[in-house]
Structure 1
Amino acid sequence: MGQEMFGTEPITLAIVGCGQRGINYAVYALQEPTKCKVVAIAEPRPKTRQNFAQAHSVDGTLIFNSWQELHQASAETIKTVGTRLADAVLVCVQDQMHLEVVLAFAEQGYHILCEKPMSTKLEDCLRMEAAVKKAGIIFGMGHVLRYSPYNTALAEIIRSGELGELINVVHVEPVGHWHFAHSYVRGHWAKEEESCFSLMTKSCHDIDILCHWFFPTRPTRVSSFGSLRLYRKESKPAAAGSATRCLDCPMERECAYSAKKIYLEPVMRGDRGWPSSTIVDGLPDIESVETALRRTKYGQCIYESDNDVCDNQVVNLEFANGATASFTMVAQTSLICERQSRLHFANGEIVGDMSAFTVTDFRTKKVARHTPALDGGGHGGGDLGLIRAFVEAVRTGRQEILGTDVSDALRSHLTVFAAEASRKEGRVVDVAEFEREAREKAALYK
């Protein structure tokens, strides 16, 4: 399709999926209306769709119940008028839907920002790479950690070489005990068959940032261990008895995972944000949240749920230059996604926690603390950083503004798939061989 050059007019966006991720990206259009504008949306939930459309003043003719309806309207507009409905599409639907939505809109020539992960199957990630390359479009991947002020500043020091070669990284993601329960026990990402394994759905961010820090050297070998250790029926406290829902449980007040504490009580205090906002259609209130806790999986006992994804996992990486990294994803923490990292260089080290980092130079004994300024947005400003970079990449037709492309995104996904293969098969995986076999297998089904 080629990459158009845009002038000073705002880049127009179509949002497919108006949930939490769609809201977080689209807020940029409200903050910087001269940069971009939401002109079309697709969302099946009536109240969520209505609230989003009102917030962005979307014309009623461009509000759709499904991505298929938006796609069909786009096809008709392209056929009759010769133009698309928007410059770019933001794909913020459930993970297993990413492939079909990206393929459909890439074929129509839209620039695309796809929420992570690319897809839940390796062969589908390969198909997405091929489709994006064929379309010749700008492609952004929802690896938002790359775009936070914290990680941008940290990467600048790595790239400068001022501490010498990066030799080792120890990186931890503390998911948070109740956050894991919300998303990976009760939530959309609880079962591998219906979504994907938790290393992909939660921590592909982290494997990607490790690959980003070590670039241009790439992972060559990977090993992994992990399990579902706590959130299963065998761990249920005896005092809970036969209760299967928090609102009926005799020990609800003593339970760290009480759905009443997590969802209902914040709303009772006037807090209608995440995570309560994700379990109802529209803005949560006491009645709607209580109904959800009595009728949906969000009110279930976490020890009586049908989840099956790992709640703790470690990944070991060896890179082509001999450097190494270890990553730990663990659910049972008080911190909520506040990653902790130690980066070890030939001449120094960096220790950080996503809000600030300390740089120590072994040669000069100088210690400097860096606290990058946050400019709002989730993931330490990474959400805003990504959408800002994507809009500018579309406006200028320059993929390099994003600092990555679809093939680079695929490589970090391949590493995640390789790590999970190691965990399940009990072996060290050669990443290059793993990729070769995956591409050969994919070629058989073309």
Structure 2
Amino acid sequence: MSLLVRVIVVGAGSRGENYARYASVHPERMTVVGVADPRKFARTKLQRQHQIVNKNIFEDWQSVIEREKFADAVLICTPDSLHKDPAVAFAKKGYHILLEKPMATTAEDCIAIVDVCIRSGVMLSVGHVLRYDPTIYKIKEVIDSGVIGDVIHIQHLEPVGFYHFAHSFVRGNWRNEAESSFALLAKSCHDVDLIHYWAGGRRCVKISSFGSLSHFTKENKPAGAADCCLDCSVEADCPYSARKIYLLRVKEGHTGWPVSVICPNSHPDIESVTEALKFGPYGRCVYECDNDVCSNQVVNMEFEGGLTAAFTMVAFTEEMCLRKTTIYGSKGELSYNGHEVHVFDFLTQTSTKHKPQHKAPVEFGLGGHGVADYHLIDAFINAVAKNDPSLIRSGPEETLQSHLLVFKAERSRLESRVVDCGETSVMNK
């Protein structure tokens, strides 16, 4: 296979556009040769960015499948509930697949995707970008080095961010379970995956979970509040005001996320954002939306050998997605504050700091998610070019196991019981 990998982007939203950016940074390694998206603005924008010929512009992925195979790989970045069918179809056609997380919205669909990829002999990389974050990956390296001894307990926190949660899980695409998926799958399958990764091959034997939707309900709507933020007389006193989250950012010259999301068919400016808030979902009062997903949830896990883990996801935080982790070992304690890793050695009673260099092109951002995005797509493209699936840290079998833990955790929450991970049935949402 040529070292230049040809890819098709299925779903040209923010994730698809971001992964496709790799072709602009490394044109000698990857080229975007096709795009499929029902939105004319999105597919035309990607076509212009990558000079894709007209015959390879499609309104749906089914039209791509009807053609003879004309690329090496496909980047599937469709909405969560629309992952399974294209993933199965492209695998059967012989395309290697980078699939945005979560793999699918039911355990059965996740199993089906992995099964067909294995049987078809194609590589599958799931978009667990945190595995590729250099600092978070350092945690895995430290554990594997034996410096902290046997891992005894893992404590992990995901602070979602107050306005991030309002944007994505109250007003946005992941607000309603029937239309997308439950919050633990949509937002925190990353985190359950990391805990499973850090457990180092030890099987999870029991899992429990508690959580609910707090605050963002009709009962908490302030007196005098309107259904739309632009018409609201008490909006100035609301931290979740759409004026603050979107319009104020545009006025300050910020047109990236989350502003870019609310104007998918145009470039965000004062006029287009105002229009989107007046007539679209992102201008709604957060206390009058059709949201039903958890705003806070805890998951407790017991692994083979007595290793325990506790995970917390909470919406109401200042910091946004800046994970915090403490791992307690028999020889030392590892702590991660969202920026760097510290290891305290019990024997010497000294602390060592680990802060890897965040090396990624400026096009992907200077830190955090952007750096991880770069390393994920870089690993996938190298794996395809070299026909070496070992370069992918988020391959099919292990990723499936962490997804199944998410489904079992949600079953525990819904059924108010501890779930034995040896149970053969899985929750079908």
Normalised by the size of structure 2, how large is the TM-score? 0.96
| Matched residue, 1:215 | 200
Between the two proteins, the alignment pairs up a number of residues equal to: 421
> SS of the counterpart of 2:32?
strand
| Matched residue, 1:335 | 319
Distance in 2 (CA, whole Å) between partners of 1:27 and 1:7 is 20
| Matched residue, 2:185 | 200
| Matched residue, 2:376 | 386
Alignment of 1:113-128 (within 5 A): 113-128=98-113
Q: CA 1:199/1:375 → structure 2, altered by over 3 Å: closer, same or farther?
A: same
Which of the residues 268, 284, 287 maps onto 2:251?
Answer: 268
Which of the residues 283, 288, 302 maps onto 2:286?
Answer: 302
- Is contact 2:407–2:426 with CA below 8 Å preserved after alignment? no
1:312 aligns with 2:296: yes
Q: CA 1:290/1:45 → structure 2, altered by over 3 Å: closer, same or farther?
A: same
| Matched residue, 2:403 | 413
Which of the residues 74, 96, 100 maps onto 1:89?
Answer: 74
| Matched residue, 1:184 | 169
Deviation at 1:149, TM superposition (A): 0.5
Alignment of 1:56-95 (within 5 A): 56-72=50-66, 74=67, 77=68, 84-95=69-80
Distance in 2 (CA, whole Å) between partners of 1:160 and 1:107 is 39
Normalised by the size of structure 1, how large is the TM-score? 0.92
Alignment of 1:35-74 (within 5 A): 35-72=29-66, 74=67
Distance in 2 (CA, whole Å) between partners of 1:308 and 1:363 is 49
Q: Following TM superposition, where does structure 1 have runs of at least 4 consecutive aligned residues deviating by more than 3 angstroms?
A: none
Q: CA 1:219/1:27 → structure 2, altered by over 3 Å: closer, same or farther?
A: same
Distance in 2 (CA, whole Å) between partners of 1:117 and 1:307 is 19
Question: What is the CA deviation profile of residues 16-65 of structure 1, one whole-angstrom value per residue up to 9, with x for unaligned ones?
Answer: 01111112211111111111111111122222222211111211221112
Q: CA 1:430/1:202 → structure 2, altered by over 3 Å: closer, same or farther?
A: same
| Matched residue, 1:250 | 233
Q: Larger deviation: 386-395 or 262-271? A: 262-271
- Is contact 2:132–2:393 with CA below 8 Å preserved after alignment? no
Q: Larger deviation: 226-235 or 397-406? A: 397-406
Distance in 2 (CA, whole Å) between partners of 1:7 and 1:190 is 42
Question: What is the CA deviation profile of residues 316-337 of structure 1, one whole-angstrom value per residue up to 9, with x for unaligned ones?
Answer: 0100111001000000001010
| Matched residue, 1:224 | 209
Q: What amino acid sits opposite 2:257 in the alignment? A: W
Distance in 2 (CA, whole Å) between partners of 1:379 and 1:363 is 35
Which of the residues 7, 17, 20 maps onto 2:14?
Answer: 20
Q: CA 1:260/1:404 → structure 2, altered by over 3 Å: closer, same or farther?
A: closer
Deviation at 1:218, TM superposition (A): 1.9
Alignment of 1:86-165 (within 5 A): 86-165=71-150
Q: What amino acid sits opposite 1:238 in the alignment? A: A
Deviation at 1:438, TM superposition (A): 3.5
- Is contact 1:29–1:35 with CA below 8 Å preserved after alignment? yes
Deviation at 1:380, TM superposition (A): 5.7
- Is contact 2:340–2:355 with CA below 8 Å preserved after alignment? yes
Q: Larger deviation: 388-397 or 399-408? A: 399-408
Deviation at 1:251, TM superposition (A): 1.0
> SS of the counterpart of 2:74?
strand
Deviation at 1:178, TM superposition (A): 0.6
Deviation at 1:154, TM superposition (A): 1.5
- Is contact 2:301–2:310 with CA below 8 Å preserved after alignment? yes
- Is contact 2:10–2:77 with CA below 8 Å preserved after alignment? yes
Question: What is the CA deviation profile of residues 349-397 of structure 1, one whole-angstrom value per residue up to 9, with x for unaligned ones?
Answer: 1111232111111111121112221124352621111111111111121
Q: What amino acid sits opposite 2:196 in the alignment? A: C
> SS of the counterpart of 1:154?
helix
Q: What amino acid sits opposite 2:422 in the alignment? A: A
| Matched residue, 2:340 | 356
Deviation at 1:403, TM superposition (A): 2.9
Cα RMSD (Å): 1.4
- Is contact 1:163–1:345 with CA below 8 Å preserved after alignment? yes
| Matched residue, 1:444 | none
Which of the residues 230, 233, 236 maps onto 2:221?
Answer: 236
| Matched residue, 2:352 | 368
- Segments of 5+ residues of structure 2 without an aligned counterpart are none
Deviation at 1:200, TM superposition (A): 0.2
| Matched residue, 1:32 | 26
Q: What amino acid sits opposite 2:173 in the alignment? A: H
- Is contact 1:185–1:231 with CA below 8 Å preserved after alignment? yes
Distance in 2 (CA, whole Å) between partners of 1:235 and 1:211 is 37
Distance in 1 (CA, whole Å) between partners of 2:393 and 2:271 is 46
Deviation at 1:7, TM superposition (A): 3.6
